Chain A
Amino acid sequence: MPQLTYREAIRVGLEEALAANPETVIMGEDVGAYGGSYAVTKGFLEQYGEERIIDTPISESGFVGAGIGAAIAGMRPIVEIMTINFSLLAMDQIVNLAAKARYMSGGQMTVPLVIRTVSGGGNMLAATHSQSLEAWYARVPGIKVVTPSNPADALGLFRSAMADPNPVMYVEHSLLYGSRAEVPDEPYTVPIGSASVARPGTDVSIIAYLRMTPVALSAADILEAEGISAEVIDLRSLLPLDSGTIIDSVNRTNRAVVVEETWEFGGFAGEVIAQINERAFDSLDAPVLRVAGVNVPTPYSRPLELLTIPTAEAVADKVRSLFQA
């Protein structure tokens, strides 16, 4: 199996998509001549030409809507929103059009569109450029939201997103692009709506997604040294959510901590905890807890910024608290 970075895995997926369908185009800000803000589409313009690798003006609502229209017309476009912060300018098109076109037309329209975007903080970019907003979109029926945490899932989920007839928000994390891991050689996909057991364990379930999955895995390492066997569940998709895998895990471990990067208040962890309470309450030996981002606009200054994002130590601490008598 080859070792690929997260960035390379996404590139493989994009190149497969461009090869598979002549009506697949990539459009977004600086995806062409610049090579992509995170260099994911570097070299594509030279290889595929400006008909298919389309630099757009800075008009998020305009070009996301154009992608939706092209998809409704039957093309298979990929739209890149440079970061999820800028998706707010396209939220009307995503929420009011992409998510509703099929339902509101009584099934006459489909929107086979993949929207790639980048989430997360940790780059000293301050409050407007450090948000994790994917959970907002995960509340909207009619779209799907996937959040790969490693190269293999990145490629497998990208393939599924391209094969899906619905609008899919494919959310990447800026701090994961350089992470490297084995990616299977043979054709495979990761189905949308399937969580994974990223690390098996017996004493507690740590449920995470996107960059919090590696954080949770580090916490599990710390805890193992202390004799606590933590199972790490990587959600991989937020919508649809694979609650079955969560519930199965909690039924075995009887304890759970949910980790996410975004603000704790009203976050996605709250939804996961509600589902555990509804479906696995009798299995619980302790309340389900969460570790999430601090409820403040992200500050620029490094020492302050670091306080806002969950760390492995903070996750380990929260897990330890479940075992104190």
Chain B
Amino acid sequence: MSTQTDLTIPRAELLTLLRSMKLIRRFEERSAEHYARGNIGGFLHLYIGEEAVAVGVISLLREDDRIVTHYRDHGHALARGLDTAACMAELFGKATGVSGGKGGSMHFFDVSRGFMGGHAIVGGQMPLAVGLAFANRYRGQDSLVVCFLGDGAVNEGEFHESMNLASLWQLPVLFLLENNGFGMGTRVERASAQPVIHRLADRHNIRSRRVDNGQDVFDVREATQTAIDYIREGNGPYFLEIMTYRFRGHSMADPLEYRQQHEVEPWLDLDPIRLLTARLHESGLATPDEIDTIDADVEDEVNAAIRFALESPFPSPDELYTDVYA
């Protein structure tokens, strides 16, 4: 199942990939802790276990590409380089958050980085991605839009409407399906008559591929690069299904009664961070000291983010009425 470390990637970049995955992991572990303490409210959907997907895909994007994603959006945001402290502040509902405290966990935005939102109505982000890509094509730009979606989105009408439009209009969209096996607590096989989801792309004449091990950042990157090249050459959309697993529940409120520990454990062995770390050791590309330095650095960054979030002010009451309209 495992591939070789991709030696064409410069060593510094490999370490950046590892750091990015570790940052997402620690950011979320610590946010879970602050959820339990009551500093974070609402829903908190953790991405833990799926880090290789966000990091692998987003590390290959250009600055002028755009990202549209779903409500499990922390990983994508951090992989895209959104400010860690501003992301944490958003979870805390503070004025300094990436969405000014008005969006919360499910609705991170940073338009300056082409991060066009976490969107919390399942499938609802897909027409938006189509529209952004429509503008790219209309303007003759070769930048593209990555639309992340979960396996739960594929039985929505918006999924099929968006796939058809993107294909019909030959738009530069990468539909990036993160198949973590469950739509909330419902298994893919119990929700989709066609559980090999990428085959649904055939119906819309969209080229597609499945990545069996989405825990391997190199596999993710190899497939993503192929898709990106295809799209930038003007061939229209591409659909990539990446098999992954969410280590935690759907949200912090999930009692996890729908899956057994014995089926979770093999996946835990495929921890994307552990896999990459082992590869870097094996191939002599990182010393234990270097890994420790990354860990300490990430810990500092997350600690600083929490401090920032705690110390930041809540939005003032007059913010209630700002930005309802432009």
- Cα A59 to Cα B168 with chains together (Å): 12
Of B112, B128, B132, B157, which contacts A97 at CB under 8 A?
B128
- Asked if A107 and B100 sit within 8 Å, CB to CB, the answer is yes
Chain A interface residues (CB < 8 Å from chain B): 23, 25, 51, 56-57, 59, 61-75, 89, 92-93, 96-97, 101-110, 112, 141-142, 144, 165-166
- Cα A25 to Cα B134 with chains together (Å): 11
- Asked if A62 and B130 sit within 8 Å, CB to CB, the answer is yes
Binds A, one of B103-111, B254-262, B282-290: B103-111
Given pairs A68-B131, A73-B131, A112-B326, 4 additional interface contacts (CB within 8 A): A97-B128, A102-B323, A102-B325, A105-B111
With A59-B165, A67-B131, A69-B131 already in contact, the answer to whether A23 and B103 are too (CB < 8 A) is no
Of B103, B132, B138, B325, which contacts A142 at CB under 8 A?
B325
Chain B interface residues (CB < 8 Å from chain A): 97-103, 107, 109-112, 116-117, 119, 121, 124, 126-136, 138-139, 157-158, 161-162, 164-165, 168, 322-326
Q: Nearest chain-A residue to B107 (Cβ)? A: A104
- Asked if A59 and B164 sit within 8 Å, CB to CB, the answer is yes
- Cα A310 to Cα B112 with chains together (Å): 51
- Asked if B128 and A65 sit within 8 Å, CB to CB, the answer is yes
Of B97, B134, B157, which contacts A69 at CB under 8 A?
B134
A241 → B minimal CB distance (Å): 14
- Asked if B127 and A68 sit within 8 Å, CB to CB, the answer is yes
- Cα A69 to Cα B134 with chains together (Å): 8
- Asked if B124 and A73 sit within 8 Å, CB to CB, the answer is no
What are the residues of chain B within 8 A of A89 when measuring CB–CB? 157
Could you show 22 A-B contacts with beta carbons less than 8 Å apart?
A: A57-B164, A59-B165, A63-B161, A65-B128, A65-B131, A66-B127, A67-B131, A68-B131, A69-B127, A69-B130, A69-B133, A72-B131, A73-B132, A89-B157, A97-B128, A103-B102, A105-B99, A105-B109, A106-B103, A107-B100, A108-B110, A109-B111
- Asked if B323 and A107 sit within 8 Å, CB to CB, the answer is yes
A89 → B minimal CB distance (Å): 8
- Cα A65 to Cα B147 with chains together (Å): 14
Of B100, B101, B136, B165, which contacts A63 at CB under 8 A?
B165
- Cα A183 to Cα B35 with chains together (Å): 60
- Cα A96 to Cα B120 with chains together (Å): 9
